[in-house]
Amino acid sequence: MQRNSSKQSPFRAPAMIFWAAFGLRIAVIVIGRTWRVNPIGGNFEFGFEAGRIARALVTGHGYADPFNGHTGPTAWIAPGYPLLLALAFKLFGLYSKMASFFVKSVDSLFSAAIAPAIYEIAARCFDSRGVGRRASTRLAPIAWWSAWTWALYPAALQYAIHWLWDMSIAAMLFTWTIVFILRLARTGEATPDQVCFPTSEAFANQSEPRWGTWIALGLTWGVLMLTNPSLSTCLPAELLWLAWQRLRTPSGFNFAPLRQLIAGTVITGALCAACLAPWILRNERAMHAFVPTRSNLGVELYQSTLEVNNGMPWGTSMPLFAGAPEYKDYVRLGEVEYSKRMGVIGQQRIHDYPGRFWRWTALRFQYYWFGLPHPEDRKPAQEFVRQLNYSFITVCGVLGLLLMFRQRITGAGLIALIFLMEPLVYYGVTVQPRFRHPIEPLMTVLAVYLFRSADTSRTWSGRV
């Protein structure tokens, strides 16, 4: 974005970045033929449990059967992604190549939609204050480079073009919730004594309640909870940071916006509840239990305590072989009761072996931030590059966050809370590299900010 006096929001990303990101992802799918899915195991790799549920939906069995065979109604995973797969199966055929291409194209669309969100986050937190401006001819250099990095960086493409799972959709929804929080906090918006970006009518009234943004926040979080409920730990963190940001002033606290904050929080909560209500009611009727999001936590916790897994369960939590004792118990007891029993056993094992649990938790912490090793039969050079890239992104993100705190950049507290809360459930159960994807857009912004701040020889005079 060049310097100009346009009345268009200075936080809006150029459309070209989104289309370039989307086009690149589609091109890789087509050229690399990543739409092909290994048919092994009766096409189980086509969406895994989500694919099995989608198959049940389109074959008339309802939302059921997350594994092999007909095991009845399920809430093993939230309905967002299985419904997308079911739509693909309905349109293009069960486990068909066109269904795979359709789903990965949709995933690519959502992955590309993260780039404009990254642009706005960076523009509000950094560029509106002239941070990292240096000799750039662009008014928003950190935003520009961050968005283009996400659009073109190979690691940002991988989940959209290779995986039939919810990573890209969840990351997109989550990143946009951060954008809405920054909008509600008015982060980076011009004030009369401090203007780096051109002003516009949208920034004129600082007391504007912005109910539309509250509504967008509530709906986005509602859909996100129906896609990846594990991220819901970050909603309280976002709202707490927003309250702190809006009420705090240099001279103390100003409680004038409190009524708006309370009303907005109620709107957000009500819309989240409205989105979840049909799913909760369905679970009450079909499974005769209160299941607000999904029912598999007890089984996952139990699997995380088994010595054979060494604290790191991998693959499905249930055997796919219908003759396995665990599978028979699952069918006999029903999903909710089976998960509850396994959860009790898992908690007891944690109580009996607390030292092992904390050792494995520390290991999961390490793997979340610095990469889970692949089996030793992988190519050593390839594995080294993968681990180096994964760790490099973490180091850049953490250093960028520390620099934000040092330079007192608005938004540092929000990002720190998200980094703290997002992985908590994974530390206690299991870790996979894909679990970190929702916060990788923030890491991208922090990495660009870190490198653009490295050269302090030329600093824009408008920076404050």
Looking at the predicted structure, is the pLDDT value of residue 4 above 70? Answer: no
Enter the pTM of the model. 0.92
Q: How far apart are CA 82 and CA 223, in angstroms?
A: 13
- Per-residue pLDDT tens digits for 83-110: 999 999 999 999 999 999 999 999 999 9
CA-closest candidate to residue 453, choices 136, 17, 116: 136
Alpha-helical runs (H) found in 288-429: 297-304, 325-333, 335-352, 354-370, 380-406, 412-421, 424-428
Alpha carbons within 13 A on the beta-carbon side of 289: 15
Structure tokens at 174: 């989550």
Q: Looking only at Cα atoms, what is the longest distance across the chain?
A: 72
CA 84 to chain centre: 17
DSSP string for residues in 432-444? -GGGGGGGHHHHH
| CB contact set of 447 (below 8 Å; sequence gap of 6+) | 149, 393, 396, 397, 400
Structure tokens at 150: 């996400």
- Per-residue pLDDT tens digits for 384-438: 788 888 999 999 999 999 999 999 999 999 999 999 999 999 999 999 999 999 9
How far lies 394's CA from each of 224, 368, 385, 446, in Å? 24, 10, 14, 10
Give the pLDDT confidence score for residue 5 in this predicted structure.
Answer: 39
Give the pLDDT confidence score for residue 239 in this predicted structure.
Answer: 96
Q: How far apart are CA 188 and CA 181, in angstroms?
A: 12
User: Is the distance from CB of 223 to CB of 83 less than 8 angstroms?
Assistant: no
Q: How many residues does the chain have?
A: 464
CA-closest candidate to residue 177, choices 207, 148, 139, 220: 220
- Per-residue pLDDT tens digits for 301-342: 999 999 888 888 877 788 888 888 999 999 999 999 999 999
In the block, tokens 């409920």 appear at 229
Alpha carbons within 13 A on the beta-carbon side of 389: 12
Mean pLDDT of 252-268: 86
Looking at the predicted structure, is the pLDDT value of residue 197 above 60? Answer: no
